[in-house]
Amino acid sequence: MEPPEKYSWIDEFLAAAEEALGFMDISTLQPTSWRHFQPLVAKEWLAWLERIVTEREKQNIPFTTVAAALDLDLCREQLLFTLEDLKTAHYPVAKRLAIADFFYQTLVVQTPQGDPSGLHGTTRKHSREEVTELMQKDFAAGNPEAARALGKLYNGAYNLGAALYLDFYMAKAIENWGPYEITQGRILVVKRMKNLLPTAVWDKIDTPIQDATIYAVYEGVKFSTDLVSCHTRYIGDAIRGLVKWRLEVDGENVTDLATIEALALSIAETGIAQWNRVKKLSESELIQKAIWIRCYCFDRVCQLLGLAWHPSEELLGASSGKTLAEGWKRWRHPFEPSSYHAYWRSLWDPRLDFFPDSEPP
């Protein structure tokens, strides 16, 4: 039997999940939520996922290598989603802990400055040495015009990412890293926009950007995230507080503000068009699309391990004849705040035999 302290990280992760989600009404998410969709295929999804966990062990691939193929924010969010799947499918405790630990061990090496769960408001992917290296790049001087142009670009990419990945899997498209203290009173925040042309899951996408990164140095501004790195909070004036910036688009440094404004407008239009496509999907098409998108979140780690990332026939067929309303009905959470939090904390905890159909604690 493994020592209990091996899984002491779970308490911090549960606190981070509670902080990130709060008393959010998940049922209002559009076009659906993971709690409507995931219960429909939880058993088959976990069978698909277990291939990754088992193959890593079989090949003895170090978690440092896995971490390079599974993005930090994706790892955090998929751990949370998988904890719910494990209970929905009534997996035994030993398997629950093994699968959860796969994600956590990956998170540990992805966060060299600590706070793997984001409980303390950081998402620091880079070591101090790597931050020093980043700051050797060429930066442009900051001003309100640049801050607004970069903000428009990020917002457009954020909206497109939500449409491409159904909002709840959008860590495949958007990540925020930081804050990194540069000097007294100055911080670096890195905003990554990626996988914006996923032709493997969507055809006929016309986007001006596939991958972009904003490096923003602020003075007199505080920045924080939580378990979900696109949940960002700024304290202070992020418009006037931008002192230096750099934008890389598909590997090229872009400094012209008119070009950035044009890219922002184009990507915003692409996001609107993509949302219109999503809204036209039938319910069964939406469920199938969600299956493909979730599997695609693991494409690079599957390639690393020599596995197919595409959903299995069993996984695709598992939703046949099922509705999103059925998925939502699996949950029995109460609505009084303290009882609500107790329900979800117990359900997320892989050490406890508490399931969606258990009586609320």
pLDDT in tens, 146-181: 999 999 999 999 999 999 999 999 999 999 999 999
Confidence of residue 4 (pLDDT cuts 50, 70, 90): low
Cα 320 to the center of its chain, rounded Å: 27
pLDDT value at residue 206: 87
Confidence of residue 2 (pLDDT cuts 50, 70, 90): low
User: Per-residue pLDDT tens for 64-94?
Assistant: 999 999 999 999 999 999 999 999 999 999 9
> Residue 18 above 70 pLDDT?
yes
Is residue 353 one of the residues assigned to a domain? no
Is residue 2 one of the residues assigned to a domain? no
> Residues 37-61: what's their mean pLDDT?
98
State whether 112 and 132 are in the same domain.
no
Is residue 212 one of the residues assigned to a domain? yes
Q: What share of the chain is helix, strand, coil (3-state, %, to 5)?
A: 50, 10, 35
- Whole-model pTM? 0.96
Summary mean pLDDT of the chain: 95
Token readout for 235 is 């304290």
Q: Is 24:131 a contact under the CB 8 Å cutoff?
A: no
User: Per-residue pLDDT tens for 218-273?
Assistant: 999 999 999 999 999 999 999 999 999 999 999 999 999 999 999 999 999 999 99
Phi, psi of 127 (to 5 degrees): -75, 170
> Residue 358 above 60 pLDDT?
yes
State whether 77 and 158 are in the same domain.
no
State whether 169 and 233 are in the same domain.
yes
3-class DSSP state for residue 320?
coil
Q: For residues 170 and 338, give the distance between their C-alpha atoms in angstroms, rounded to a whole number.
A: 29
State whether 163 and 78 are in the same domain.
no
Q: Count structural domains, the chain.
A: 2
Boundaries of domain holding 47: 13-118+283-348
Q: For residues 170 and 161, give the distance between their C-alpha atoms in angstroms, rounded to a whole number.
A: 6
pLDDT value at residue 3: 59
State whether 136 and 273 are in the same domain.
yes
Of 279, 296, 323, the residue that ends a domain is: 279
pLDDT value at residue 22: 87
Confidence of residue 35 (pLDDT cuts 50, 70, 90): very high
